């Protein structure tokens, strides 16, 4: 299946059918290369998480795949339709929850859903039935007649997601769906996504949160400066990064640059850039912890805190996601 031809009429029966596919997709804005030869492939009924910092290109990729942005080069297909040639076919089959809630603040929650249902071709009755169904499922009944602009962030997100499900889409795009949500709304949204996937919907979600990707995604693509720098299941990524790690936190008066220098001299590849100023050192065997302590001791630095960790997605992120700004002012990192 190339993913670029129309699916067979009863494609639902086909498992493993590729519902979202990008081949060498690049997108250039003026002088900014927002996407650089991106390849992804998402089978039906699975979740792909696009993991990346701000500016990595997540929203741009969502824009290209939802036929909202023309691509500069490459090919992309959703539900078997080409984004450049058959954008309306794609719009018929997708739901999009953008990074910023796209509901009409002037209208009530219910009227927002009605509007979309009518535009999708539902008759008055059918539109009302669908709106009420979604309001109930998303626990929005109490606020259904209130104007959406009076909603809290969590409510608005939920309405936004409900709005993208009105047409029962086969593929859903969620751009940073939980950014800015409180923990309980976040959990709530995760459960919604899990239920959708259980029902066979294909999901592409972008996130800056590792726990979110780890919990929801069947596979993860790490996006950095427009390129996919790693992809695979959470387990595969952890294996790729390969190592266990030692995390060292220094005392305030110790110079992190000196510590990094000392560790490098001991042939280690320390990674910096955590918010708390900690240094992560990938190691092979647990006995190498001693080597870390010795290397630091040689320059008279004693770790204020030292912990040993099995690989986590944090490590994947820090090891793979090149982000020079995070590494400054320490000297350049060894290439991953």
Q: Which of 226, 275, 269 is CA-nearest to residue 31?
A: 226
CB 310 within 8 A of CB 244: yes
Look at residue 24 and give the partner it binds from ligand ADP, Mg ion, another protein, none, a contact being a CB closer than 5 to 8 Å depending on partner kind: none
Closest approach, Cβ 175 to ligand ADP, in A, equals 7
Site string for Mg ion, 39-58 (x = CB under 5 A): -------------------x
The reply to whether 215 sits near another protein by the rule CB under 8 A is yes
CA distance 312 to 319: 11
Residue from 28, 84, 137, 326 that binds another protein (CB under 8 A)?
A: 137
Q: What is the DSSP letter of 335?
A: P
Question: Among 48-56, 130-138, 272-280, 292-300, which window interacts with another protein (CB under 8 A)?
Answer: 130-138
The reply to whether 208 sits near Mg ion by the rule CB under 5 A is no
Residue from 35, 40, 69, 217 that binds another protein (CB under 8 A)?
A: 69
The reply to whether 312 sits near Mg ion by the rule CB under 5 A is no
CB 206 within 8 A of CB 63: no
At 21, give phi and psi (nearest 5°): -145, 130
The reply to whether 199 sits near another protein by the rule CB under 8 A is yes
Residue from 18, 19, 22, 34 that binds ligand ADP (CB under 6 A)?
A: 34
CB 165 within 8 A of CB 112: no
The reply to whether 32 sits near ligand ADP by the rule CB under 6 A is yes
Residue from 11, 55, 190, 249 that binds ligand ADP (CB under 6 A)?
A: 55
Residue from 99, 179, 185, 208 that binds Mg ion (CB under 5 A)?
A: 99
Size of site (CB under 8 A) for another protein: 67
Closest approach, Cβ 220 to Mg ion, in A, equals 17
Contacts of 202 by beta carbon, 8 Å cutoff, 6+ apart: 19, 20, 42, 43, 44, 45, 46, 47, 170, 171, 172
Q: Which of 77, 319, 137 is CA-nearest to residue 327?
A: 319
The sheet that has 202-207: what strands, in order across it?
94-97, 171-175, 202-207, 47-51, 219-224, 227-232
Give the bridge partners for 28, in sequence order.
33
Closest approach, Cβ 51 to ligand ADP, in A, equals 10
Nearer to Mg ion, 59 or 86 (CB): 59
The reply to whether 224 sits near Mg ion by the rule CB under 5 A is no
Distances (CA, A) of 253 to 264, 276, 292: 20, 14, 19
The reply to whether 320 sits near another protein by the rule CB under 8 A is no
Note the helical H segments in 66-208.
Answer: 87-93, 109-119, 124-137, 153-165, 183-198
* Footprint of Mg ion (CB under 5 A): 58-59, 99
* Footprint of ligand ADP (CB under 6 A): 29, 32, 34, 52, 54-60
């Amino acid at each position: 299946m190339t993913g670029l031809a129309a699916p067979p009429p009863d494609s639902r029966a086909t498992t493993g059918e590729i519902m979202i596919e990008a081949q060498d997709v690049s997108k250039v804005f003026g002088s900014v290369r927002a996407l650089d030869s991106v390849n992804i492939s998402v089978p039906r009924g699975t979740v792909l998480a696009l993991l990346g910092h701000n500016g990595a290109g997540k929203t741009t990729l969502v824009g290209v795949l939802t036929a909202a942005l023309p691509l500069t080069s490459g090919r992309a297909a959703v539900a078997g339709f080409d984004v450049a040639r058959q954008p309306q076919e794609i719009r018929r089959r997708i739901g999009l929850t953008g990074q910023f809630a796209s509901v009409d603040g002037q209208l009530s929650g219910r009227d927002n859903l009605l509007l979309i249902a009518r535009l999708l071709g539902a008759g008055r009755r059918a539109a009302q039935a669908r709106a009420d169904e979604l309001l109930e499922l998303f626990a929005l009944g109490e606020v259904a007649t209130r104007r959406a602009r009076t909603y809290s962030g969590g409510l608005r997100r939920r309405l936004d997601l409900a709005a993208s499900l009105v047409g029962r889409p086969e593929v859903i795009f969620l751009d940073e769906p939980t950014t800015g949500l409180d923990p309980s709304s976040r959990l709530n949204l995760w459960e919604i996504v899990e239920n959708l996937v259980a029902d066979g919907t294909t999901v592409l979600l972008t996130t800056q949160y590792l726990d979110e990707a780890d919990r929801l995604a069947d596979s993860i693509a790490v996006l950095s400066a427009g390129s996919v720098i790693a992809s695979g299941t959470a387990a595969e990524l952890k294996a790729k990064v390969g190592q266990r790690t030692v995390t060292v936190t220094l005392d305030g008066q110790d110079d992190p640059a000196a510590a990094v220098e000392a560790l490098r001299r001991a042939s280690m590849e320390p990674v910096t850039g955590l918010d708390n100023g900690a240094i992560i050192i990938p190691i092979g065997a647990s006995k190498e912890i001693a080597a870390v302590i010795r290397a630091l001791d040689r320059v008279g630095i004693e770790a204020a805190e030292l912990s040993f960790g099995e690989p986590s997605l944090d490590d994947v992120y820090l090891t793979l996601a090149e982000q020079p700004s995070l590494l400054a002012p320490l000297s350049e990192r060894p290439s991953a």
